[in-house]
Amino acid sequence: MSIPGNSHGRFVSLAVAGTNLLAVFSERETTTLKFMQLPLGPHLPAEAPAPTIVDKVDVSPPLSPTFGAHVLAARGDIIDILYLDRESEEKSILKLASKKLQAPLWNLDVLEPPGEPLAALPAENGAVSVFWAADSILSRRLPGASPLSTLRSSFQLAGQASVFGRDGFTVFDAASHSLIVVRGSEAGFSCRELAGATSVQSSLLASDGLLAVLTWDAQTRRLSLLEQRSDTDKISRTTISLSEGTGSVALLPAPTRSTYMFLFDEERQLGGVRAQHQLSIIAPGYLLGAIGARYRKATLLSGTEPIEGFAAVEVPDALYVLALQGGLKLLRLGLSR
């Protein structure tokens, strides 16, 4: 399903709230951040529903390199969008827009100091903990007048953060060249370093509650799975595939224990300087209809234009992917259980 609009920004996101699929994306031509909602079902609608404008998030071109940067989260029937609004060439504002799913208007909070959004995690009593990067990893709990917390100082963001559950996320620090794991407990949120990953990464909690990270290394051209093997820092590394030019990855759970779905963009040379850009998935064979195959690789999207970004979310019978390749497209891949 194609989503109308011109010159969409590279930051896109998906989430599920009840029986609804939620999407957030930006549009360069109107310099706006947009929100779209559609029902989950066995098929995508013939036409995309009309999106609504969340906010105007930049001034006239040239646009900021972080144009459209945001994170989307759903907690019950409440939607949160943490995003960066460039009000002028000199001033940017970090905002949190929140509303109930069926409410017409967004409630806005401004966060200081401004920075790049990392995550929005549900907290107790209907609150939300938001995290952002401003030469450090900062956090605040909203609504209310909770104090600003500094979780890590001397931090330089590279890539995008990956939320692995209700209590944490991973993000790459270019200053220390390490993956930072932010995780909550009864005592609050804390950070630790995890070796072996790059800024191209996606994380989740495996069925045993331990961390798993999918990462791509440009030097070795390897897509690798890092798995925490115990409550210690011991990590195993498994090569999933070789790939060229990978810019984004997504790690998603498969139904059986310790199995996953791996989603990534890659380049394939067609000869000369021409390249084919494709969005690929590696998953247990039965999910893709290949009975008897342990894992199978399939192409979800292919073309000569680069894949600028994508987001993916899984429901019991399908995988939804929002991808930007030339135009913005929403894909639904049915999963055999």
3 state DSSP class of 287: helix
pLDDT per position as a tens digit, 93-112? 999 999 999 999 999 999 99
- Distance set, CA 278 to CA 164, 263, 286, 319, 321 (Å): 25, 11, 22, 17, 13
| Alpha-carbon gap, residue 140 to 138, rounded angstroms | 7
The DSSP 8-state label assigned to residue 135 in this structure reads: S
Q: What is the mean pLDDT of residues 71-81?
A: 94
- 32-70: pLDDT as tens digits: 999 999 999 999 999 999 999 999 999 867 888 899 999
Both tokens of residue 179?
């993956």
What is the CATH architecture assignment of 195-337? 6 Propeller (2.120)
Q: What angle do CA 303, 307, 223 make, to 5 degrees?
A: 105
What is the domain partition of the chain in residue ranges?
1-114, 195-337
> What's the pTM value of the predicted model, to 2 decimals?
0.94
Q: Is 40 or 335 the better-scoring residue by pLDDT?
A: 40
What pLDDT was estimated at residue 256?
66
Q: What is the pLDDT of residue 56?
A: 93
pLDDT of residue 258: 66
User: Which residues, 6+ apart, have CB-to-CB distance to 240 below 8 Å?
Assistant: 214, 222, 223, 224, 225, 262, 282
Judged by average pLDDT, the poorest of 98-107, 150-159, 194-203, 292-301 is 292-301
CB of 44 within 8 A of CB of 21? no
